[in-house]
Amino acid sequence: MNDWDACQKTLGIFFNDQSLLKQAFVHRSYLNENPNSLLPSNERLEFLGDAILDFIVTDELYSEFPELPEGDLTTIRASLICRQTLAKVASSLKLGDWLLLGQGEETSGGRKRESNLANTSEALIGAIYLDQGLCQVKEFALRQLKPFLDKTKHGDISPNYKALLQELIQSEKLLPPVYHVIEATGPDHDKQFAVEVLMEDNILGSGTGKSKKAAEMEAAHSAWEKLRCSHG
């Protein structure tokens, strides 16, 4: 059985309604094997937490970066609340330890799966908001994101556009992007790669770089900007 007191000590949040805390950790696979569970899955809380986190981070970036235009703020926000970042937050808090999983999800590594961890982070944000209110959930969320926000402020990290593009495409339930090297020029010690990123045979973007990875990242950047603008 999960030790919910230990969980709350780790979070630094003590819930008035314990059922909200527990619901944040209920994976849908658990309900498949425990149909009589009194708790629903964490998916509604995840939906709520996603919107709240978006607002909290937007508000913080608007205050912290008064000189940045909308496009740059959007890029930073996307990096701070992308699946990779939220999974890292969940890992630092050991949220996977308290997940309620079905046996199949358990044996296939569900406690460490990036998507499960990121979704649990969002569900937890939703649960804290419902139980504690906006001020408390804002303080909690910004405390967890502070290391990533600090690195952004100091220019120590740049957005992972491949991850951002993948996430944006997945949100539209489309096939994953494919990267294709169209040209490699120059001697071995000074290669220059040209890459296109395609989705369903349509070219989304292109990029060049001294390595395949760098070229792919530039191509993903151009594709992400193109798709973001088309959705805006």
The CATH number of whichever domain residue 170 belongs to comes to 3.30.160.20
122 flagged as catalytic: yes
Quick one: 52 and 75 in the same domain? yes
Q: What is the token pair recorded at 79?
A: 């990096």
- Are 98 and 206 part of one and the same domain? no
Does one domain contain both 201 and 99?
no
Q: Are residues 89 and 147 in the same domain?
A: yes
Q: How many CB atoms lie within 10 A of CB 224?
A: 26
pLDDT given at position 155: 62
Output the pLDDT for position 74. 83
Q: Which of 46, 50, 105, 131 is catalytic?
A: 50
Check whether residue 124 and residue 209 sit in a common domain: no
- For residues 69 and 49, state if they share a domain: yes
Handedness of CA 44, 47, 53, 56 (dihedral sign): negative
Residue 79 and residue 182 in one domain: no
Can you give the pLDDT at residue 147? 92
Q: Is the same domain home to 21 and 99?
A: yes
Question: 129 with 226, same domain?
Answer: no
Dihedrals phi, psi of 13, to nearest 5 degrees:
-130, 130
Instruction: Give the count of domains, the chain.
Output: 2
* Residue that is last in its domain, among 131, 153, 175: 153
Residues 54 and 138 in one domain: yes
Question: Same structural domain for residues 137 and 166?
Answer: no
The last residue of a domain, from among 124, 153, 182:
153
Per annotation, catalytic residue among 3, 46, 67, 122 = 122
Domain limits for position 21: 4-153
- Do both 65 and 173 map to the same domain? no
Q: Which of 127, 153, 179 is the last residue of a domain?
A: 153
Identify the CATH number of the domain in which residue 51 sits. Answer: 1.10.1520.10
Q: C-alpha distances in angstroms, 78 versus 68, 117, 153?
A: 15, 17, 15
| Per-residue pLDDT, 131 | 98
pLDDT digits (tens, 9 = 90+) for 83-96: 889 999 999 999 99
**Rounded mean pLDDT for each run of 10 residues along the chain, 232 residues in total:** 90 96 96 91 97 96 89 84 91 96 94 94 98 97 93 70 83 85 87 90 90 89 82 57
Q: Has 17 been annotated as catalytic?
A: no
Entry pTM = 0.75
